[in-house]
């Protein structure tokens, strides 16, 4: 058995895919998740895919005493990937305190435990939301942050500042923030994928649920953007590519290939696709048509964002391999599974 990695939020969407890739690469995985936005059944599905069941603890990372007990028991953890967080942009506007408490307290608690239990390696789940609407595209890691557009976005900016300051003050740490662009798609097994609770906020789950008959029609938010077809542009990335980047990053930290300190990487494909292009790719790759109507812009949405991925490509030696059609077909396969 390889080295032991703690994955917080490991039953969630990106977390579960990363757990699979870690186990595939020989790591031993222990998950902490409070199941506030995921199901315990995911553990069965992970086990079906990789043949090993990760260890699982159910509790909230805001419970510092519980977390400390956990680290006393699991004394051989070598690195942490911290996914657990609240992530709905719209909800964060309505419940800012919940977002600040969950997202910031959990990181502070984890970092306190890292200090007291001598764990030096952490990968933090960040987002391209830290850039706001940038002045220049594509967005590189040197692009300055704009004011956050939501409390959720602000928590990601604040957490990254915490990482930077803590790394500066404690020379033993290797800390990496991975800034995801728009993760979509599902594992090729069809056994894990995104499971939004209630009405989905994100484009791809809304498309698949509409096609599955769970929603009447997709609304395309905004058709008058300054983009080739008027709809907003994003850098969609397959969740399996994203998961693999985490394994590479963990290996880099554990093998001390990253210098001590704090580093951050953009994880995207480098391609910007419009909402209409996503719908077209879905129809092309699945052969099913998507019912949609044109609607006003969604408040808070930015017009266009896509990544400059050179730093991640060069330094991590990682490159996204899966294209938009694979993202769409896997998302649809997963949606069909969840119905049966």
Residues forming the active site:
152
Both tokens of residue 130? 């830290």
Q: Measure CA of the first residue to CA of the last residue in the chain; give whole Å.
A: 35
Contact 56, 27 (CB under 8 A): no
Q: Which is nearer to ligand UFG, 188 or 196 (CB)?
A: 196
Q: In angstroms, give the least distance from the CB of 67 to ligand UFG.
A: 25
Q: Which is nearer to ligand UFG, 194 or 333 (CB)?
A: 194
Asked if the bond preceding 119 is cis, omega within 30° of 0, the reply is no
Q: Among candidates 13, 61, 67, which has minimal Cα distance to 38?
A: 13
Q: Which is nearer to ligand UFG, 10 or 272 (CB)?
A: 272
Other Cβ atoms within 10 Å of 249 Cβ, number? 26
Contact 99, 86 (CB under 8 A): yes
Q: Which is nearer to ligand UFG, 86 or 286 (CB)?
A: 86
Q: What's the helix, strand, coil split of the chain in %, to 5?
A: 40, 20, 40
Q: In angstroms, give the least distance from the CB of 50 to ligand UFG.
A: 27
Q: In angstroms, give the least distance from the CB of 236 to ligand UFG.
A: 8
CB-side neighbour CA atoms (13 Å) of 16: 27
Interatomic CA distance for residues 133 and 147, integer angstroms: 9
Q: Which is nearer to ligand UFG, 79 or 268 (CB)?
A: 268
Interatomic CA distance for residues 133 and 143, integer angstroms: 11
Burial zone of 64 (CB within 10 Å; 0-12 exposed, 13-18 middle, 19+ buried): middle
Name the residues that contact ligand UFG, by CB under 6 A: 87, 89, 127-129, 153, 182, 201-203, 206, 218-222, 232, 234, 275, 298, 301
Q: In angstroms, give the least distance from the CB of 13 to ligand UFG.
A: 10
Interatomic CA distance for residues 225 and 217, integer angstroms: 21
Interatomic CA distance for residues 65 and 98, integer angstroms: 20
Q: In angstroms, give the least distance from the CB of 274 to ligand UFG.
A: 8
């Amino acid at each position: 058995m390889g080295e032991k990695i703690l994955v917080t939020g490991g039953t969630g969407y990106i977390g579960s895919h990363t757990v699979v890739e870690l186990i595939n690469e020989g790591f031993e995985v222990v998950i902490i998740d409070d199941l506030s936005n995921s199901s315990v059944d995911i553990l069965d599905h992970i086990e079906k895919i990789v043949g090993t069941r990760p260890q699982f603890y159910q509790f909230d990372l805001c419970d510092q005493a519980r977390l400390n007990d956990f680290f006393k028991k699991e004394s051989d953890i070598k690195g942490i990937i911290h996914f657990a967080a609240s992530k709905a942009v719209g909800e964060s506007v309505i419940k800012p305190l919940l977002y600040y408490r969950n997202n910031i307290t959990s990181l502070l608690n984890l970092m306190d435990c890292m200090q007291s239990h001598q764990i030096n390696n952490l990968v933090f789940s960040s987002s391209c939301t830290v850039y706001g609407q940038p002045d220049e595209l594509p967005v590189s890691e040197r692009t300055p942050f704009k004011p956050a557009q939501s409390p959720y976005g602000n928590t990601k900016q604040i957490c990254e500042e915490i990482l930077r300051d803590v790394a500066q003050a404690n020379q033993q740490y290797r800390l990496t923030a991975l800034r995801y662009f728009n993760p979509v798609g599902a594992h090729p097994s069809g056994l894990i994928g995104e499971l939004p609770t209630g009405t989905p906020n994100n484009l791809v789950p809304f498309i698949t649920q509409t096609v599955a008959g769970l929603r009447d029609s997709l609304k395309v938010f905004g058709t008058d953007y300054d983009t080739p077809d008027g709809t907003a542009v994003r850098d969609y990335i397959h969740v399996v590519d994203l998961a693999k980047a985490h394994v590479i990053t963990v290996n880099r930290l554990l093998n001390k290939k990253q210098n001590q300190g704090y580093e951050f990487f953009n994880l995207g494909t480098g391609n910007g696709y419009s909402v209409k292009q996503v719908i077209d790719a879905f129809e092309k790759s699945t052969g099913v048509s998507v019912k949609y109507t044109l609607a006003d812009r969604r408040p808070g949405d930015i017009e266009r964002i896509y990544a400059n991925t050179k730093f991640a490509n060069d330094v991590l030696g990682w490159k996204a391999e899966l294209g938009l059609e694979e993202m769409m077909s896997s998302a649809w396969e997963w949606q069909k599974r969840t119905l049966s």
